[in-house]
Amino acid sequence: MNSDATITCDVLIIGSGAAGLSLALQLAKEYQVVVLSKGPLAEGSTYYAQGGIAAVFDANDSIESHIEDTLIAGAGICDSAVVRYTAERAKESLKWLIELGVDFDREPDENGEPRFHLTREGGHSHRRILHSADATGRAVQSTLTSQALSHPNIQVLEHCNAIDLITSGSPEQSRCIGAYVWNRRQEQVLTVAAKFTALCTGGASKVYQYTSNPDIASGDGIAMAWRAGCRVGNMEFNQFHPTCLFHPNARNFLLTEALRGEGALLKRPDGSRFMPDFHALAELAPRDVVARAIDYEMKRLGADCMYLDISHKPADFIRQHFPTIYEKCKSLGIDITAEPMPIVPAAHYTCGGVVTDLNAKTDVDNLYAIGEVAYTGLHGANRMASNSLLECVVFARAAAADITAKIENTQLVKEIAGWDESKVTNSDEEVIIQHNWHELRLFMWDYVGIVRTDKRLERALRRVEMLQHEIHDYYANFRVSNNLLELRNLAQVAQLIIESAMLRKESRGLHYTLDYPELANDSSATILTPPKRRI
């Protein structure tokens, strides 16, 4: 039967992290906003971000230095105009968060007056990271959540998965008019009609067997945008966080890069350091260098993990600066003030995504993409630490301004066909989803992980194409579920990652292949165009 459950709004925001809620709060002053959250409102990558947000607050620092550091970390293929745009708007974006109530750490200056405590992370030449202890994401998410929940013009729909975007017009000139949404609690598909839609769904690290991300990071926005006709860019660049806690009960708990910024050292099981053998910056080298070094040492030694050691610092300093990590490790029987932490790399951040412009607009009219779901050109071949939350806020503000300028002349399309599930039944073969789910994540880890080869990529492509046929048949015959929707999206994103990696005949940034270990002389972003838009 067709569902007649329809919701209308001015702006539909799919995702409830820093990008989504920042956009919602910018727009809700004048317009009706609906925010979709796949789980509870606070459950997302923003909440778990430990490090901080980069911006120039120190008189000895400069915007030009922030730009230069970002371009270097991006390994030569950042969009320099986007980098400048972001760095120039960093301070005002941080001030907006501070005005909302985000409590960044402060310290007394030489006159005893309070100033922001700035830390330094890998790739940065200065201390420019504003943070809230080692739980900055939680501070940002909590503030944005409380503001959104109390706003009369923001309607939050929790435990709701977007299924697909709804578009009108031709493939070459389509317009987004809303989305179909699966309400998991009511087990009902809703039709949401909106003048504008924004994808703020985060990244796709769940495509890998080991990830620091929460369960919801399944590439939904990237897959939906691709199916709707949007180009994607730089999908081969998946950042593996070098230091995730290696413990059976830790679920790859992330150990912030700020630990290394404050002097933590990477060590082999025998206690010797190894990063000076790989890079002049040692522990402060870019993340891709550190992740490959750890991966290399683990494979060379046949070791299950390496170690991160900050125990040489005063115990009070460690507890004050890293209380969340201290308590987490303590609960697992590890005293980080006296012993090293066992660590392994894990998939952490998707540097590519849906192609957007400086207003966060995609190829489809009235559709925006903000944050980790988007490819703006800021990150290039590698993301510099603490530029991610910054990107969310800067481009949420840009999108809000662009939407505000257009919304009065945009008509809401109310007559949208409801979701048709008259030809599907309840599944009696959930085991297929579980099997395909595990197979996908395992071969992506083995074949499309930190170190790649042409043969590995070819094997991965054959397997993902076979899986997609099975998933398509399953999707056509059975009612939707959370696992099915995520598997469908992950398989699509996996294909995009593999195809992008196959196109890059060099090793650059996060993409390292044994078949092409050197940099190419002429390199640029990898852009894929959906079949429906190809001429």
Partners of residue 11 on adjacent β-strands: 33, 196
3-class secondary structure, 289: helix
Indicate if the alpha-carbon torsion angle 482, 484, 485, 490 is positive or negative: positive
Q: Does residue 287 carry a catalytic annotation?
A: yes
| Residue found under tokens 């901080």 | 52
Q: Is residue 111 helix, strand or coil? A: coil
Helix (H) or strand (E) run with residue 374 in it = strand 374-375
DSSP designation for 250: T
In order of 56, 68, 128, 202, 364, the CA distances from 61 in angstroms are 6, 12, 8, 30, 39
**Cβ contact 334:341 at 8 Å:** yes
Sheet holding 341-350, edge to edge: 238-245, 341-350, 306-309, 265-267
What number of residues does the chain have?
535
The alpha carbon of 7 is separated from its chain's Cα centroid by a whole number of angstroms, namely: 28
Taking the CA atoms of the chain, what radius of gyration do you get in angstroms? 22
Alpha carbons 2 and 334: distance in angstroms, whole number:
55
Distance separating alpha carbons of residues 175 and 204, to the nearest angstrom: 25
Q: Token pair of 311, please?
A: 């125990």
| Distance from C-alpha of 197 to C-alpha of 204, rounded to nearest angstrom | 20
Q: Which of 89, 120, 287, 441 does the annotation list as catalytic? A: 287
Distance CA 14, CA 180 (A): 11
CB atoms within 10 A of CB 95: 12
By the 8 A CB rule, do 377 and 525 touch? Answer: yes
Residues designated catalytic:
287
